[in-house]
């Protein structure tokens, strides 16, 4: 099956629209909500209404977290550029504006991606329009999602959930939380399931909000579950524990969300590159794409190297999304995209700060903010090191027990 990584023609209007929103609505309030951490960006309510309108009209092409779902190929076997491709390309544009604000969009949380990935048709309809955050990480573990110790015990027609989750994006603002919990710790990874817990459910408590290095516009919460009872119908996907399948069901969420986070890094890095090129030009340093790097100013040569790295991250992100749209297994490619884009995002934004010297380090421009924002994109949804480990296991065909 041939893959074409040019921006699909049918998505260009959506991407242009996202770019206009990023430039005219997100950039102007970016610094405001970076300083006013934990304050809800009320301007986003207008944008949320616009996105809802596009979705209802069918003009959104499935963009946004709620659209992340594997589409079937066309009946004639042609390749498809569907909701995953629309999501990564539009999200990259929005993050060209502000990644923290993009993460704060109502009804576009990472939990929405989880619901879209593993929910059945009835659950998709029931939770439609909800803003869902995703609660995975716990105080005792970070990247090893299989170490989940939050428990869910079936009691009649309800599951009783107990545990603590940290670093929950949009944990306070969301309508519900997709929480990962184990049905039976002795059965290992296979017993880990995700549950939708509505806000206001007795036993769910937002304990505090974190103060952070970057993405300050996005609220990050600590949430506890104490004898929290949820209907058994709120378990996403199948309640059966399939030891042979192992962690595959839960990990399907990451196959969809990791390219989204890669796209965030791609968009943030592109913003830094665009501004840096302009600032270099103002300082008399021209970047010449027709001349070898070693014949150019050192700053221009460095800029060309950063752009080449960025292009590699962008193409890997598009590949992972394209494979999802065409129903091809993309766990390896999703991790490759996340690993490459996460590292490149930090490298590019920090290097742009260096290239622009005092302007880059000051609050005169947004370069220092983008450098702070980009670091989390190399950490959440699986750290750089975990992604490299996953890639190594896939390439070498080794299990997690064989390669730790």
CATH number of the domain bearing residue 77: 1.10.540
Give the pLDDT score at 68. 47
Tokens of 236: 């996403």
Q: Does residue 125 sit within a domain?
A: no
Residue 33 belongs to a domain: yes
Is residue 392 domain-shared with residue 260, that is, in the same domain?
yes
Neighbouring residues of 95: CB distance < 8 A, sequence distance ≥ 6: 22, 102, 263, 264, 265, 266, 267, 268, 271
Catalytic residue selected from 164, 333, 365, 381: 381
List, for residues 200-243, the tens digit of each pLDDT value: 999 999 999 999 999 999 999 999 999 999 999 999 988 888 76
| Range(s) of the domain holding residue 266 | 248-396
Q: What is the DSSP letter of 82?
A: -
* pTM, full prediction: 0.93
CATH number, position 351: 1.20.140.10
* Listed residue (96, 111, 154) closest to 257, CA to CA: 111
Backbone angles phi, psi at 154, to 5 degrees: -75, 125
Residue 72 has a pLDDT of: 47
Domain count, the chain: 3
Rounded CA-CA distance 385/347 in Å is: 16
Question: Do both 257 and 370 map to the same domain?
Answer: yes
Which of 61, 87, 118 represents a domain boundary (last residue)?
Answer: 118
Q: Does residue 404 fall inside a structural domain?
A: no
Give the pLDDT confidence score for residue 189 in this predicted structure: 85
372 located within any domain: yes
Amino acid 71: pLDDT: 47
Verify that 18 and 44 share a domain, yes or no. yes
According to the model, what pLDDT value does residue 250 have? 60
145 plus 21 within the same structural domain: no
Considering the domain architecture, whether residues 134 and 85 belong to the same structural domain is answered as no
Residues of the chain with confidence (pLDDT) below 50: 62-63, 66-68, 71-73
233-247, pLDDT tens digit by residue? 999 988 888 765 556
Q: Contact 172/205 with Cβ under 8 angstroms? A: no
Return the sign of the alpha-carbon dihedral for residues 325, 331, 332, 338. Answer: positive
Shared domain check, 338 and 285: yes
In a domain, 50, yes or no: yes
Backbone angles phi, psi at 328, to 5 degrees: -105, 140
Residue 162 shares a structural domain with residue 62: no
Q: Report the pLDDT value the prediction gives residue 66, as an integer from 0 to 100.
A: 44
Residues 146, 72 share a domain: no
Do 203 and 311 fall within a single domain? no
Last residue of a domain, one of 185, 209, 234: 234
Q: What pLDDT score does 8 carry?
A: 82
Q: What is the pLDDT of residue 274?
A: 98
Active site residue 381: yes
CB distance 149 to 163 below 8 Å: yes
* Residues 179 and 92 grouped into a single domain: no
User: Could you tell me which of 203, 157, 153, 195 has the C-alpha nearest to residue 177?
Assistant: 195
Residues 228 and 253 in one domain: no
| Residues 351 and 390 both lie in one domain | yes
Would you say residue 243 lies in a domain?
no
DSSP string, 195-245: EEEETT-TTEEEEEE---SS-TTS-EEEEEEEEEEEEGGGB-S-----TTT
């Amino acid at each position: 099956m041939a893959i074409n990584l040019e921006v699909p023609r049918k998505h260009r209007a959506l991407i242009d629209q996202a770019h206009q929103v990023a430039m005219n609505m997100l950039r102007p309030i970016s610094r405001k909500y970076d300083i006013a951490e934990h304050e809800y960006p009320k301007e986003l309510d207008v944008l949320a209404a616009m996105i809802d309108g596009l979705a209802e009209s069918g003009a959104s092409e499935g963009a946004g977290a709620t659209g992340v779902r594997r589409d079937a190929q066309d009946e004639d076997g042609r390749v498809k550029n569907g909701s995953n491709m629309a999501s990564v390309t539009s999200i990259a544009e929005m993050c060209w504006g502000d990644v923290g604000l993009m993460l704060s969009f109502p009804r576009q949380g990472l939990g929405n991606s989880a619901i879209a990935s593993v929910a059945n048709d009835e659950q998709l309809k029931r939770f439609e329009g909800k803003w869902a955050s995703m609660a995975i990480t716990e105080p005792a573990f970070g990247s090893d999602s299989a170490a989940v110790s939050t428990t869910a015990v079936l009691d009649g027609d309800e599951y009783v959930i107990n545990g603590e989750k940290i670093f929950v994006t949009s944990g306070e603002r969301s309508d519900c939380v997709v929480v990962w919990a184990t049905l039976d710790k002795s059965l290992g990874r296979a017993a880990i399931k995700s549950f939708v817990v509505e806000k206001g459910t007795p036993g769910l408590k937002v304990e505090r909000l974190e103060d952070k290095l970057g993405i300050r516009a996005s609220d990050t919460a600590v949430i506890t579950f104490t004898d929290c009872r949820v209907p058994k119908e709120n378990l996403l996907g199948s309640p059966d524990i399939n030891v042979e399948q192992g962690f595959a069901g839960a990990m399907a969420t990451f196959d969809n969300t990791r390219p989204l986070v890669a796209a965030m890094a791609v968009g943030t890095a592109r913003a830094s590159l665009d501004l840096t090129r302009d600032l270099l030009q103002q300082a008399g340093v021209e970047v010449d794409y027709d001349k070898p790097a070693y014949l150019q100013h050192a700053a221009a040569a460095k800029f060309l190297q950063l752009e080449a790295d960025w292009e590699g991250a962008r193409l890997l992100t598009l590949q992972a999304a394209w494979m999802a749209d065409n129903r091809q297994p993309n766990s390896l490619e999703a991790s490759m995209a996340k690993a490459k884009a996460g590292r490149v995002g930090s490298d590019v934004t920090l290097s742009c700060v260096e290239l622009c010297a005092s302007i880059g380090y000051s609050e005169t421009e947004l370069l220092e903010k983008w450098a702070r924002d980009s670091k989390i994109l190399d950490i959440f949804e699986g750290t750089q090191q975990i992604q490299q480990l996953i890639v190594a296991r896939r390439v070498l065909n080794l299990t997690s027990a064989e390669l730790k």
